[in-house]
Structure 1
Amino acid sequence: MDSFGHVNNVVYLRYLEQARVDWMFETAREAGVEKFSLGTVVARHEIEYKRPLVYRAEPVRVEIWVTKIGVASFVCNYEVRDEDVVYATANTTLVPYDLAEQRPRRIAPEERFYLEQYLQAK
């Protein structure tokens, strides 16, 4: 919380991370895709704050979808929102990463298939 009682901008990154980790690791694993959890790194974040989110006990919803799938990267977009209020929009560029080799890797076919299920236009 900042000095005005609003959720701090760094907390928004945590919200995005929580949604992304759940979607890429838990939901993907349930769908039979485990490679994301073996190595994926953030290459870029961009957040546009639309409205202040006043600190509260109730959770806020983070919606996530894919807007671009490349050969070795993909982009996720988000909305941090309640039913009728959007507090922020954001996007993250993610790169599959080979932790053992310490280098980026290409998106595997099963990862691409999983991502395509969430592909939407901006």
Structure 2
Amino acid sequence: MTDSSLLSDYPVHTEIEVAWGEMDALQHVNNAVYFRYFETARIDYCQALDLMKILSASNIGPVVSETSCRYKLPVTFPDTLVVGSRIIEVKDDRFTMEYAVLSRKHQAISTLGKATIVMFDFKTGHKAPLPQSVIEHIDAVESRSNR
């Protein structure tokens, strides 16, 4: 199996080298570290959308309202991970992302994750609608996957 076949449904791929210091006393990557991996992948996806550029003028931006992780296979140093990310649902004021973490050492998906991202108006302190231009960018990015 290759990265592309295991992550073909994920249009954005983020490569991450496992650091020695990310392992815990049980000699595998600590469970909390995966949320940093997801964050890195989420930022890469947002850059693919030009999300920060689109939203910076309006003081509206994405905030994580919920996130989860399912561990399938322990990861250890050394390893290179590839985090695939995709958006599976778009609503008026939010979207839901999914992540799949591929361990190159094991050639298997080690971890699955999910996050709900809400648009937030930093001027008013309230939720904001997801701009149509962002929805169009999401559609363009998602059309790159082999789904």
TM-score normalised to structure 1 length: 0.85
Unaligned runs of 5+ in 2: 1-22
Q: Is 2:120 the counterpart of 1:97?
A: yes
Unaligned runs of 5+ in 1: none
Q: Is 2:66 the counterpart of 1:44?
A: yes
Q: SS state of the match for residue 81, structure 1?
A: strand
Q: SS state of the match for residue 39, structure 1?
A: strand
Q: Is 2:108 the counterpart of 1:88?
A: no
1:6 alignment counterpart: 28
**Sequence identity of aligned pairs in percent?**
23
In the TM superposition, residue 34 of structure 1 has moved relative to its aligned partner by 2.1
In the TM superposition, residue 116 of structure 1 has moved relative to its aligned partner by 2.1
With 12-21 and 82-91 compared, the bigger mean Cα shift is at 82-91
2:54 alignment counterpart: 34
Quick check: which has more Rg, 1 or 2? 2
Q: Which of 67, 71, 84 is 1:63 aligned to?
A: 84
Q: SS state of the match for residue 9, structure 1?
A: coil
Return the structure number with greater relative CO, CA threshold 8 A, min gap 6: 2
What is the distance in 2 between the residues matched to 1:63 and 1:111?
Answer: 20
In the TM superposition, residue 8 of structure 1 has moved relative to its aligned partner by 0.6
User: Which 4+ stretches in 1 moved above 3 angstroms?
Assistant: none
What is the distance in 2 between the residues matched to 1:116 and 1:92?
Answer: 18
What is the distance in 2 between the residues matched to 1:114 and 1:102?
Answer: 25
